[in-house]
Structure 1
Amino acid sequence: MEIVQTNQAPQAIGPYSQAVKVGNMVYTSGNIPLRADGTLVEGTVEEQTHQVFANLKAVLEAAGSSLDKVVKTTVFIKNMDEFARINEVYATYFTTNKPARSTVEVARLPKDVSIEVEAIAII
C-alpha cells in the first residue's frame, strides 16, 4: 500500500489520504470543490463539478493514473434536481472510457458543497 500526496489538489481536511495505491489500483478519497490552496468554489454546480474533476485529475496523475483509467466513480450530490447539470459536466471528462458509476443524493456534504466525487482507477 502506498499513500498518494500532491500539492496540485487540496490537502486532506481530516484523518485521511488524498488517495491510496494498492497493486495496480488507486482509490481516491472524495473530492469536493476546493482549490489546491484550500479555498472553496462557491459558484454554480457546474463550476463546482469542474473543480472536483480538476482535483481528481491531479490526484490520479500523482498516483500514475488518469481520468482515462477510471473504472468506477461514486458521485454524491446535495440535490438530485441538479443531476442533469452535473451529468453534462461529468460527460465532458469521460468521453471514450465511461466508468461504472453510482450517484447518490445526500443530506449534507463537507463545507455544504453541492457535489463530491470519489474514483477507483487502474495504474
Structure 2
Amino acid sequence: MTSESARGWRPITAPGAPDPRGGAYSVAAVAGDLVFTAGLGPVDPATGTIVGTEVGEQTRQVLRNLTAVLGGAGCTLDDVVKVTVHLANGDADWPAYNAAYLEFFRPPYPARTTAGSQLGSILVEIDVVAVRPPQR
C-alpha cells in the first residue's frame, strides 16, 4: 500500500498547469470524490513568470491555471462547489476581478469567499474545491 492510499488521498499533477512555487505542497489533491486545489496565482506555466499587471488579467490567468489543474483530476470549473479568493486590493479590485470571474463561471455559481490579503507581487490568488462526477 502506498503512502497516498494509506492517507486516503492522492496528489494530482496536471500538464499545462504551473508547478508549485516556493514550498513543499501538491498543486491539488483528490480525496474520494473531492478535489482540493492549492491557492494558485497568475503564473504562466510555460515561463514561470507572473502574467498581467491588473487584477482582471491576473484573475483570467489564475482561472486558466485552475482549469488545467482540475483537468488533471477529471474535472472542469462546472464541478467546482467552493471558491476561495484572496485579493491584494480588496474593494478597489473587486469590479475587475468579478467581471473576469464571471467569464469562467456560470449559474449555478459555486459558494465563494473573497478576502483581502497581502499577496506580495501578485493581485489575486484562488483555490477551489470540486466534486468529481462519477462518469469521469
Q: What fraction of aligned residue pairs are identical, expressed as a percent?
A: 37
d(CA) in 2 for partners of 1:102 and 1:121? 15
Q: Is the aligned partner of 1:53 residue 2:71?
A: no
Q: Is the aligned partner of 1:84 residue 2:95?
A: yes
Q: Is the aligned partner of 1:62 residue 2:72?
A: yes
Q: Which residue of 1 aligns with 2:15?
A: 7
Is contact 1:3-1:20 (8 Å) kept? yes
Bigger radius of gyration among the two: 2
Q: Which residue of 2 aligns with 1:16?
A: 25
Q: Which residue of 2 aligns with 1:44?
A: 54
Is contact 1:69-1:97 (8 Å) kept? no
Is contact 2:28-2:36 (8 Å) kept? yes
Alpha-carbon offset, residue 60 of structure 1: 0.3
CA RMSD of aligned residues (A): 1.0
Alpha-carbon offset, residue 42 of structure 1: 3.3
Q: Which residue of 1 aligns with 2:38?
A: 29
With structure 2 as the length reference, what TM-score do the two structures score? 0.85
Q: How many residues align?
A: 121
Is contact 2:28-2:37 (8 Å) kept? yes
Ranges in structure 2 where 5+ consecutive residues have no aligned partner: 1-8
Q: Deviations over 1:37-64 (max 9, x none)?
A: 2111132211111000000000001011
